Amino acid sequence: MAIFLGAKGGDILALRATTELVNTLKAKLGEKMAYLLADEELELLRGVQEMLGEELAFEDGYVAEFTGALSELERAADAATLSDLHHRFHRLAADYFKRRGSVVALHSLCNSYQDGLVRKALLLAEQVLALDGMGRPPVPYCWLAAGSAGRLEQTFCIDPSYVLIYGDTPDDAGYFEKFVYQVLAFLERIGLVKNGGTATVMKSLWHGSRTEWRSEIVAAPVAEERERLDELMRRADLRLIYGAEALAEEMIGIVWGMLDFHQGKLRETSKSMAMTSRIRDTVSFPLPALRELGKGIPEMPAGLDFFRRLRVERRGRHRGEFDLEQFALAPLVTNVRMLASSCALHETSTINRIKGLQDRGHLSVELTDRLLRAYHDFTCLKVAQQLKTGCENEHTCFINPKDLTENEEQRLRNGLDTVSGLAKIAYLFYTEQE
C-alpha cells in the first residue's frame, strides 16, 4: 500500500495530504536554511527526518491494522462478528480521515470494507438457504450497487441501493425471493441497513430475471415519463459487487445502450433542468424590478440567492441550515453524470468522470481542477457532519453556516460558483448537439 492511501498518479485530491506535508517542509526549510549555520542545518534536517519517520510509522501501523481487519472479514462466519468488524472499520476509517483529510482515501477505505461486508452477507444468505434444503442458487446471479456505492463514493453513511439480477429459469423466482429477504436481514444485523429499515429497502431494491431487466430498461421512456428517464440516467452508476461478471456486464451494457438511444430526450431533459433552475432563481428575487433584471442575467448558483447569501432553510428542524446535498453535491454529481453519459464515458465515480471529460477535451484543465476541489470540499464538509452528528440518510446533509470557519465558507462558495458554471456548460453542450 502506498505511503498515502489513495495516492494515484497525478490525482490532486489523492495527493492532498502529501502536498500539504511537502509544502510544510518547504516552508520550514525555505525560511530557515539560508540563515542557519552548518550544525543548525543538520539539526533542522534531523527534525524533518523525524517528522517523516512519524508519518511512516503511522502508515505502517495503520496498514497493518486495516489489513488485519480485512483478513478477519474473510474468515468471519456469522452476522455478529461482521457487525463488530463494521464498527471497527468505521473507527479505522474515521481515524484516517481525521489524520489525513483525504476524501479519495476515505472512499477507498469505505468501498473496500463495505463491499466486503455485502459480499459476506450474500454468501451467508446462500449458506442459510442451502441448510434449509433449497440448495445452491439455481442460476447465475449478480448483485449490483447503485447510488454512492455504485459510484465508489461510500462514506460513513450507508446507501443501500442495490439491484439483483438472475438468469432465466422456470423455477428461479421462489429461491431468489427468499434470498433477497435473507440478504437484507443479514445487512440489517451487520449495520448496513438501518434498524427496522429492511421493509423500506425491499421496496426500492429491484430484483428480477435477466429477461425482466431487459424489459424494464428497454421499455422506451416517453416524454411524459420524466421519472423513468431520470431513473435510467441514475442507473449509469451501477457497479458489480458480487456474482456472475458476464451477466453483470450484459445487464449494465443494456443500460448504456438505452442511454445512447435516448440521447435526444436526455438533451431536452438537461435543458429543461437548466431552465427550471433559472426560473426558480428568477422568481425568488424579492422585488418585481429585480425579477425582470434576473431574466436577463446568467443562471445564479443554486446554493446562493440573488444577494449571494447561502440558501438556508427558513423553517422546520433545519431552520438556518444549508442543505449541502441538494445545493452542492447532488447538482455536481448529476451534471457530471449527464455529461459523461453523453460522451459514452462509462466511468462510475464522479472523480473519474470529471477526469475522463477533461481527457476528451470537454472540460478545461482549470475547470477540472476546480470541480475536483469542489467535490473534495463538499465531501469533507459532509463527512465532518457525519462524524459530528451521525447519519440518518445518505441523501440528506444539513450544515450550519455559523459553524464554518472563514476558509471553509469561502471554499464552499467557490465550489458553488464552480457547480453553477458546470450547469451552464452542460446546458450549452446539449444545445450545441442539436
Q: Mark whether 68 and 148 lie in a shared domain.
A: no
* CATH number assigned to the domain comprising residue 277: 1.20.120
Residue 371, number of CB atoms within 10 A of its CB: 26
Q: Mark whether 248 and 381 lie in a shared domain.
A: no
What gap in Å lies between CA 14 and CA 268, rounded to an integer? 36
Q: Mark whether 61 and 209 lie in a shared domain.
A: no
Q: Mark whether 256 and 270 lie in a shared domain.
A: no
pLDDT for 225: 62
What gap in Å lies between CA 264 and CA 258, rounded to an integer? 11
CA 188 to chain centroid, in Å, comes to 21
Q: Mark whether 349 and 426 lie in a shared domain.
A: yes
Higher pLDDT, 40 or 61: 61
> What mean pLDDT do residues 149-163 have?
92
- 89 in a structural domain: no
- 279 in a structural domain: yes
Domains held by the chain: number = 3
Q: Mark whether 245 and 274 lie in a shared domain.
A: no
Q: Mark whether 292 and 240 lie in a shared domain.
A: no
Q: Mark whether 287 and 407 lie in a shared domain.
A: yes
pLDDT for 300: 42
pLDDT for 265: 58
> What mean pLDDT do residues 230-239 have?
90
Nearest to 398 by CA among 318, 341, 338, 331: 318
Contacts of 32 (CB under 8 A, 6+ apart): 44
Residues counted in the chain:
434
pLDDT for 150: 96
Point out the least confidently predicted range of 7-16, 72-81, 100-109, 161-170. Answer: 7-16
pLDDT tens sequence across 307-362: 677 888 888 888 888 999 989 999 999 899 988 988 889 999 999 999 999 999 98
Within 177-301, strands assigned E span 206-209, 239-243
Report whether 141 contacts 247 (CB < 8 A).
Answer: yes
Q: Mark whether 273 and 421 lie in a shared domain.
A: yes
Q: Is a pLDDT exceeding 90 seen at residue 114?
A: yes
Domain extent at residue 296: 264-432
Contacts of 240 (CB under 8 A, 6+ apart): 142, 143, 144, 145, 248, 249, 252
* CATH number assigned to the domain comprising residue 186: 3.30.460.10
- 155 in a structural domain: yes
For 42, the grid coordinates are 543538520
Report whether 340 contacts 353 (CB < 8 A).
Answer: yes
pLDDT tens sequence across 6-36: 444 444 344 445 555 556 655 655 555 555 5
What ranges in 101-225 are assigned the alpha helix state H? Answer: 103-131, 147-150, 172-190, 198-204, 210-218
Helix axis angle, 210-218 relative to 245-261, nearest 10°? 10
For 410, the grid coordinates are 469561502
Secondary structure letter of residue 165 according to DSSP: E
Report whether 36 contacts 49 (CB < 8 A).
Answer: no
In 393-419, which positions are buried (b, 16+ CB within 10 angstroms) versus exposed (e)?
ebeebbbeeeebeeebeebbbebbbbb
Residue ending a domain, among 261, 295, 310, is: 261
Label residue 27 left, alpha or beta by phi (over 0 means left) and psi (-120 to 50 means alpha).
alpha
- 388 in a structural domain: yes
Nearest to 99 by CA among 58, 67, 70: 58
Report whether 168 contacts 139 (CB < 8 A).
Answer: yes
pLDDT for 164: 97
Higher pLDDT, 68 or 276: 68
Q: Mark whether 126 and 15 lie in a shared domain.
A: no
- 83 in a structural domain: no
The residues with which 163 forms a beta bridge, in sequence order, are 144, 206
Residue 98, number of CB atoms within 10 A of its CB: 11
Q: Mark whether 13 and 150 lie in a shared domain.
A: no
pLDDT tens sequence across 166-185: 998 765 568 999 999 999 99
Residue ending a domain, among 261, 286, 317, is: 261
Q: Is a pLDDT exceeding 70 seen at residue 406?
A: yes
Position 86 confidence tier, pLDDT thresholds 50, 70, 90:
very high
Q: Mark whether 39 and 115 lie in a shared domain.
A: no
Please state whether beta strands 322-323 and 206-209 pair in parallel, antiparallel, or not at all (unpaired). unpaired
Q: Is a pLDDT exceeding 70 seen at residue 151?
A: yes
Mean pLDDT of the chain: 80
Position 202 confidence tier, pLDDT thresholds 50, 70, 90:
confident
- 91 in a structural domain: no
- 298 in a structural domain: yes
- 97 in a structural domain: no
